[in-house]
Chain A
Amino acid sequence: MATVQKLPGSSTSTASSYGSCRVDDEQFPAGLRVLVVDDDVTCLRILEHMLQRCRYHVTTCCQATQALSLLRERKGGYDVVISDVHMPDMDGYKLLELVGLEMDLPVIMMSADGRTSAVMRGIKHGACDYLIKPVRIEELKNIWQHVIRKKWNENRDLEHSGTMEESDRFRRVVDDTEYASSVNDGTDGTWKSQKKKRDTKEDEDDGELDNEDPSASKKPRVVWSVELHQQFVSAVNQLGIDKAVPKRILELMNVPGLTRENVASHLQKFRLYLKRLSGVAQNQSVLPNSFCGSVEPNAKLGSLGRFDFQALAASGQIPPQTLAALHVELLGRPSGSLVLPAVDQPVLLHASMRGPKCIPVEQGVAFGQPLLKCQSSTQKQLPQSNIAVEDMSSGFSAWSGNQFSPTGTAGNLGGVNKSQSGNLLVQMLQQQHPYPVLSESNHAINVQPSCLIAPSQSSNGFQIGNSNVPINRNSTGDTSLSSTSFQVRSNALPVNQNSNYTNSSTVMDCSLISSQSHNVPLDVEQVPDADLKNVSVLNGYSVPGSASPSVSSCSVRPESCTGWKVQNLVVNVAPASRLPAHLPSLCVQGSDPKMIALPDQGRGRNLGFVGKGTCIPSRFAVDDNESPTNDPSHWNMCIGNERVRVKQETVLDFGDGFEGEHAKLPHFSPSDLMGVLSKDGLAGCYLKS
């Protein structure tokens, strides 16, 4: 079972009200409020004068009891206390103790007795300093440091306690709903009170701390494995990121052993992660127009190509209903399962986008902005070697066909797959490539949406999100951008499937749109080579504005279509080995990344979505294991900054429709064919017999 790795909740900084000592004052430490207690009036007078010289605000007092009453009357009225050790009415240590208990102020002890034992005693009682008389002004000039140090230590302790006592804190929270927010906000009050409690104990015995919270040591570590995170993400998606609270997420996940606190900390991280992403994404918010925009050769999407694609299967024959059923089935499955359930004759299309080299960036299909700024980096990052194609089937079909694309891409990854679920299964086989940096992935995502989704759709965080998601994956896989698997069907894809994913609908639409609305010329070529069984190259599809009826929300502007046209229409059907060379250059219409800016929420959702998408076993199996961190962030999208090795297999099932391996391919009418675009636009389609 999944182990859960506990993520320490980030602690909010304490309400750092140095207000009392006015640390934020430019004059600081001038004005520091000091209470001096000494029965020696000579000494007291001298200290007073010295402290005044230091520009502190000094209150003197020659009796300990009087000092205590002063402190009690004016709580918060002093920043630091300087006390003599030997006083007739009350021992200085006693005063120190009481002050420590009641007001938690820094106390400086002083005495003419400089013996080590005396100093030690002062320290043990919690004195923050011990001055030996005669006190020199040099020492007093520096006492403000104790005030600051105490504040900082408190903050640190709070953080500490935040982790240590997290479970307790959680347990105390009764209402989940409120709870969720409280986690993020950090309840200072609670922590503070805890802190105080602990402080008192610390005075007695520091070691006690560890024993204080047994749950801390006994708490099992929770490792957020891929599957676990997927479950988490799908639960969050189901609830909606805004409404997701630990308790409900936990219920939905239904993982034995997982505690609410685990979920809460994970959720917290997840939210932070989304926040981070949103920051990245802001620039890119609006996509729609970008479509229309001219293709920018510069877009370096192509680089992504390093992914290996396996699996492009399009089975046109499977009726939507069936697909839907499959879809459900798939969804139902645990994320872990990569295998496509229902495909009788799965055709694996491997699009091996190998060398980034192969694909010139320019060639890389740019879907508008999506092009990740990062991509260039990604290319660097991913050496060809990195890419391991597990199942390289003999046959490759490369599609240049980004054209479709915009939709296609989106569809491919997320929605498309789903919609066609039976038809297209994209499994991400191991992509040993590091994931593109988050930013990249995001961009990628963005691109698609723009392409696919009409502005109206974009309005919904989700939709955009969805579209994004698929893209992300693609980007992650590198393939995503380059490879888009399209099914061109005459029939509209069932929207139903979409329902599962809130966002999914959009995705689906896109795919549908592309396929349906437009007549996309698909060139299917059979590759004679044993190695390459079927190579179908989709050459530039031009998708005119496509609005599939089914999806009202998605309206693709015809205009955009032009933009989408893939410059590199040429599809080379080459053996896998060749693929790199063949990689068609995709022109990404240059939408600037900026265009795609998604609202934060949208992003958040997107991520969530992505997560789900991943969950779908057949489609994507992403193994995070190799990724250094199990963090949701990584996971979430390939978005994670960190490179995650992902296994991606894209399996295209041509359902029953394909009887003969190769033979049938030709038969497919364009509509039937699924176009699989590899990231760079190169898609190797491997038909697995």
Chain B
Amino acid sequence: MEVACLQRRFIDLTATIFQQEILDSQFTQLQQLQDESSPNFIHEVVSLFFQEAEKLLNELSKALDQQIVDFKKVDAHVHRLKGSSASIGARRVKDVCIAFRSCCEENNKDGCIQHLQQVNQEYYLVKSNLEDLLKLEKQILASGGSIPTMK
């Protein structure tokens, strides 16, 4: 009973996440790649993404805090964040990163700072959603249920 409830919540959350484009089909593919041989694959990858993203966000904050902004460096960080978010399927983070990079090319410090804030928001949004999702997943498995497959 509880399992079914957990599963329904899982499905609802997933639907919301995709509907809001917090995650995209890339994440779906990662879910499909998770199998018996690598039951923790999603968790593993998501954790890596968190570490990577937070490190980059810190770097970006530092870089944009400078009197003289090294836009090249900023751009490199953003580019890297873009790659990571794309790989995980964090669509909105990636989209902000694209806009962020154009600001870097323009050497637009204010724009960069603005985008950094956006990226932070989007990142924590996807992070919380992912954490919720993984938590649900863990509970379902703990209850002996199976993870509903997403379309």
Chain A contact residues, CB within 8 Å of chain B: 39-43, 45-46, 49-50, 53, 84, 86, 88, 111-113, 133-137
Contact = CB atoms under 8 A, between A and B. Distances in A.
Interface string B48-88: 11011000000000000000000000001001101110111
A40 B30 contact: no
Given A40-B83, A136-B26, 10 more contacts: A42-B84, A43-B87, A46-B45, A86-B76, A112-B94, A134-B26, A134-B87, A135-B87, A136-B29, A137-B29
A160 B130 CA distance: 56
Contact of B87 (A39, A86, A133, A137): A133
Nearest to A112: B83
Contacts of A135: 87
B45 A134 contact: no
B56 to A, nearest CB: 10
Contact of A42 (B29, B33, B88, B94): B88
A599 B82 CA distance: 72
Contacts of B45: 42, 45-46, 49
* Most-contacted residue by chain B among A49, A86, A111, A113 (CB, 10 A): A49
Contacts of B48: 41-42, 45
Given A42-B48, A49-B41, A133 B29 contact: no
A444 B26 CA distance: 73
Contacts of A136: 26, 29
B44 interface: yes
Contact of B83 (A49, A53, A88, A111): A111
Closest A-B pairs by Cβ, 5 of them: A112-B83, A134-B86, A42-B48, A43-B87, A42-B49
A109 to B, nearest CB: 13
A198 B69 CA distance: 45
Interface residues of B, number: 23
B19 interface: no
B38 interface: yes
Nearest to A44: B48
* Most-contacted residue by chain A among B26, B45, B76, B80 (CB, 10 A): B80
Interface in B15-61: 26, 29-30, 33, 38, 41, 44-45, 48-49, 51-52
Contacts of A43: 83-84, 87
A41 B49 CA distance: 8
A116 B87 CA distance: 20
A137 B94 CA distance: 19
Nearest to B37: A52
A40 B41 contact: no
Given A49-B41, A86-B76, A42 B89 contact: no
Contact of A49 (B33, B51, B86, B89): B33
11 contacts: A41-B51, A43-B84, A46-B30, A46-B33, A88-B76, A112-B79, A134-B26, A134-B86, A134-B87, A134-B89, A136-B29
A133 B33 contact: no
A90 to B, nearest CB: 14
B96 to A, nearest CB: 13
A137 B86 contact: no
A40 B80 contact: yes
* Most-contacted residue by chain A among B29, B83, B86, B94 (CB, 10 A): B83
Nearest to A53: B33
B70 to A, nearest CB: 14
Interface string B79-116: 11011101111000010000000000000000000000
Contacts of A45: 44-45, 48
B8 to A, nearest CB: 29
A42 B52 contact: yes
Contacts of B80: 39-40, 86
Contacts of B51: 41
A667 to B, nearest CB: 103
Contacts of B79: 86, 112-113
Given A45-B45, A86-B76, A112 B86 contact: yes
A113 B51 CA distance: 22
Nearest to A43: B87
A111 B30 CA distance: 19
* Most-contacted residue by chain A among B29, B38, B87, B88 (CB, 10 A): B87
A524 B76 CA distance: 105
A116 to B, nearest CB: 15
A133 B83 contact: yes
A84 B38 CA distance: 24
A43 B89 CA distance: 11
A50 B41 CA distance: 11
